Amino acid sequence: MSAQLNFEVPTMAEMIAKGKEPEILFWVGCAGSYDERAQKTTRDICKILHHVGLKYAVLGTEESCTGDPAKRAGNEFLFQMQAMTNIEVLNAYNIKKIVTGCPHCFNTIKNEYPGLGGNYEVIHHTQLIQQLINEGKLKAEGGESFKGKKITYHDPCYLGRGNDVYEAPRKALEALDAQLVEMKRCRSNGLCCGAGGAQMFKEPEKGNKDINIERIEEALETQPQVIAASCPFCMTMLRDGVKMKEQEQNVQVLDIAEITARANGL
Amino acid sequence: MVSQILFIVITLAAIALFSYNLKKVIRNIRLGRAANRSDQPQKRMMTMLKVAFGQTKMFFRPIPAFLHLIVYAGFVIINIEVLEIMIDGIFGTHRIFGGLGTLYNILIGSFEFLALGVWLACAIFLIRRNVLKLKRFSGVEMKSWPRSDANYILITEILLMTAFLTMNAADAKLQAMGLGHYTAAGAFPVSQFLQNLLPDTAAGLIAIERGCWWFHIIGIFAFLNYLPYSKHFHIIFAFPNTYFSNLEPKGEFTNMESVTNEVKAMLDPSFTPPEAAPGRFGAKDVNDLTWVNLMNAYTCTECGRCTSVCPANITGKLLSPRKIMMDTRDRMEEVGKNGLEDGKSLIDTYITREEIWACTSCNACTQACPINIDPLSIITELRRYAVMEESQSPASINTMLGNIENNGAPWKYSPSDRFNWAKES
């Protein structure tokens, strides 16, 4: 699993300069761009896009925060400034379809941008992966075998309850022939990782324990080899939880995109 | 004749008092700002039928759902019996529907079974609350009134059902005696077992039958007028509340239109925003919330399903979505009586900053609510007020906002480094 990419990631600016139009824009997001751990997921999403030969591009340095954390924290001004600036960029490039690497970006662009003049078909990367599996373009072979491994999936709030996407990530895991074990609280009853609503950027309020600890205890009860995530915030919170419980040697926290890339030997 | 006049007077008084209190509630709900919930009437109707009428969301917890369903069915169906009581009361008749024969027997028989079911369900509910002390029914917001409110309702229902069955038992005995007024009508599969407990004299039986009859109907009127003071208001408000509930994806927050106009004007100098009265950003008090938020508060039955799934509450933080709804209702009642200028406000006086900043906006509460109440939108409005009107947010949130403003990312990284992930390992 080389972390390095052996191909160039095309940007919109380059595409346009060459007179080409991509089928889909990959919206990387702030975490996917800057967070070291999330960058790995970002690169794996690119590997998948490259592998199946989808014509895609990223905005690169032209991308900016969707405004999600500002909006959830109550700063509607800052949110709308970000949103309208982003929409200008997206519309200037005539973007029609977007895949995101983060449920928060996904929710914001899909649900909150249309009211401000940004209308796109938006999918989350797990939905793209599901689609590619259905089309037979991704086969879960040629790479690491997850056959029979115990995997538990943590539903991110903004993908699950927020937008009713429960099956796509599970579909990607089923393709692995792995043993998918559900936590007590899953799907619409899933427990938050503790980072949503701008909590990612502040210390939690006083309480008995942190939310990610409660969640990781529940995840560990299923005795998994892999905890699957599909959100960079959940990834951080779950990994912190696993570290706190000193279980890094036994349990891996991986994004659905990473698992898929590994299984396909990308 | 005297009893007929008395009955009509009591009925009219009960209805008048209820209308008066209902008007006050509607006046309080109208304190709220406008919100458009008149779109997609068909989808709204379906939501109401499914969620309120069909109680689909209750079945997430099967045991209370089953018990609640019995009480609910009892409430709906026994209203047919109440209709008969009303007609009998006004015209001095006895079991006016008795002429229906077999159908009437089936009706009365099924009411008896339902009444027994309601009696048992309420008894189990009482045990769950007071003996088993379920965690869901405790919490800082469950002070003396909310606790006794629930108990009063359950005890009243048990008494009403007892009166109904006792009345039937006495009636059946009187029917068997062939007393003129008490024509034979109805089947009494449950109350027949109470007959041995009753006296054998006609006078005694008539006293019991009439006593229970009056107790039953006055009890129902009293119950009706208790509703506006109680969490039990949900038996009426669940229906409009689900009809007007949010149909958009749960993750979607509203885009504030006043802000859109200002931002457009900032980005494009040629844009002239439409004239609008200066409004508040977010909510400081109940009048800044929408009428939907306020109706939600009157609909809340304090079941605590929201709080029991709230990640902040589960991990011991101060936030309880149920408390948000109860506070909103309490404050609304207070404003309805004394007006807004009493030096208090929903935020700080009722809901603390610590509570609103503990929310992860995960929507577990809105998902769990059996009647589609949305505590999250109130929390969001309070945050908007704190951030946009007062610039009061936790220091680290301020840092995050500053980073987005300056760097286009919540962390302090240079925008020019945004694409580095593609180049480095």
pLDDT digits (tens, 9 = 90+) for B197-247: 999 999 999 999 999 999 999 999 999 999 999 999 999 999 999 999 999
CB-facing half-sphere around the CA of B133: CA atoms within 13 A: 3
**Burial state string for B5-42 with b = 16 or more CB within 10 A and e = fewer than 16:** eebeeebeebeeebeebbeebeebbebbbebebeeeee
Mean pLDDT of all residues in A22-27: 98
Residue A204 has pLDDT above 80, yes or no: yes
Percent of chain A with pLDDT over 70: 99
Cross-chain CB nearest to A197 (options B252, B316, B359): B359
Q: Minimal CA–CA distance to A182: which of A221, A238, A145?
A: A221
B116-134 per-position pLDDT tens digit: 999 999 999 999 999 999 9
CA distance B309 to B61: 12
Same domain, residue pair A7 and A88: yes
Considering A95, A129, A163, which residue would you say is the last residue of a domain? A129
Are residues A112 and A200 both part of a single domain?
Answer: no
Mark whether A87 and A169 lie in a shared domain: no
- Residue in the block written with tokens 């649900």: A111
Residues from chain B that touch A157, judged by Cβ atoms under 8 A, are: 251, 360-364
Give B382's contacts in chain A (Cβ within 8 Å).
74
Q: What is the ipTM of this complex?
A: 0.96
Sign of CA dihedral B17, B19, B22, B27: negative
Residue A81, domain member (yes or no): yes
Best residue of B56, B250, B262 to probe chain A, by most A CBs closer than 10 Å: B250
A226: which 2 tokens? 């892999």
Domain for residue A135, yes or no? no
Contacts of A73 in chain B (CB under 8 A): 383, 387, 393, 397, 400-401
For residues A45 and A162, state if they share a domain. Answer: no
What is residue B351's DSSP assignment? Answer: B
- Domain final residue, candidates A101, A129, A157: A129
> Same domain for A75 and A164?
no
- Using a CB-CB cut-off of 8 Å, the residues of chain B touching A28 are 421
Give the per-residue pLDDT at B424. 57
Same domain, A102 and A168: no
Give residue B336's region: left, alpha or beta (phi > 0; psi -120 to 50).
Answer: alpha
- Summarised one tens digit per residue, pLDDT across range A54-68 is 999 999 999 999 999
Nearest CB to A76 within list B256, B311, B425: B256
Per-residue model confidence (pLDDT) at position B75: 85
In a shared domain, residues A204 and A254: yes
Range with the lowest mean pLDDT among A53-62, B79-88, B344-353?
B79-88
Instruction: Return the bridge partners of A25, or none.
Output: A57, A98
pLDDT reported for residue B269: 85
Choose among B314, B317, B405: nearest Cβ to A205. Answer: B317
In the predicted structure, residue B425 carries a pLDDT above the cut 90: no
Band of pLDDT at residue A1, cut at 50, 70 and 90: very low
Residue B309, chain A, CB below 8 Å: the answer is yes
A108 and A58 in a single domain? The answer is yes
pLDDT in tens, A175-201: 999 999 999 999 999 999 999 999 999
Q: Residues A171, A121: one domain? A: no
Is some CB atom of chain A closer than 8 A to the CB atom of B240?
no
Whether B260 and A211 lie within 8 Å, measured CB to CB: no
The answer, yes or no, to whether residue B101 has pLDDT greater than 90, is no
User: How much is the average pLDDT of B287-293?
Assistant: 98
Nearest CA among A225, A198, A197, A172 for reference residue A48: A172
User: What pTM did the predictor assign?
Assistant: 0.95
Q: Is the pLDDT of residue A2 over 70?
A: no
Q: What is the DSSP string of B236-274?
A: HHHHHHHHTS--S-TTPPP--HHHHHHHHHHH-TT--PP
Residue A152's domain is classified under what CATH number?
Answer: 3.40.50
Residues of B numbered 368-387 whose beta carbons fall under 8 angstroms of chain A's beta carbons: which are they? 380, 382-387
Would you say residue A155 has pLDDT above 80? yes
Higher-pLDDT residue of B370 and B187 is B370
Q: Establish if A41 belongs to a structural domain.
A: yes
Residue type, A226: V
Average pLDDT over residues A13-39: 97
A4 Cα to chain B: minimum distance (Å): 5
Q: Tell me if B360 and A199 make a contact (CB, 8 A cut-off).
A: yes
Q: A129, A156, A172 — which closes off a domain?
A: A129
Q: Which domain CATH number covers A77? A: 3.40.50.1860
Our count of domains for chain A comes to 2
Evaluate whether residue A87 is within a structural domain: yes
Instruction: Report pLDDT for A3.
Output: 63
Contact yes or no for A209 and B315 at CB 8 A: yes
Residue B298 has pLDDT above 80, yes or no: yes
Mark whether A75 and A52 lie in a shared domain: yes
State residue B183's pLDDT score.
83
Q: Is residue A54 part of a domain?
A: yes
In a domain, A51, yes or no: yes
Residue B178 has a pLDDT of 86
Say which residues have a Cβ less than 8 Å from residue A266's Cβ, sequence separation at least 6: A44, A47, A48, A51, A143
Q: Is the pLDDT of residue B181 over 90?
A: no
- The whole domain housing A172 covers 140-263
Residue corresponding to tokens 């003071």: B229
- pLDDT of A34 over the 90 cut: yes
A65 vs chain B: nearest CA distance in angstroms? 5
Do A122 and A152 belong together in one domain? Answer: no
Task: Identify the band that residue A208 occupies on the pLDDT scale cut at 50, 70 and 90.
Answer: very high
Structure tokens given for B132: 């088993």
Alpha carbon of B126: minimum distance to chain A alpha carbons (Å): 27
Based on the fold, state whether residues A235 and A200 are members of the same structural domain: yes
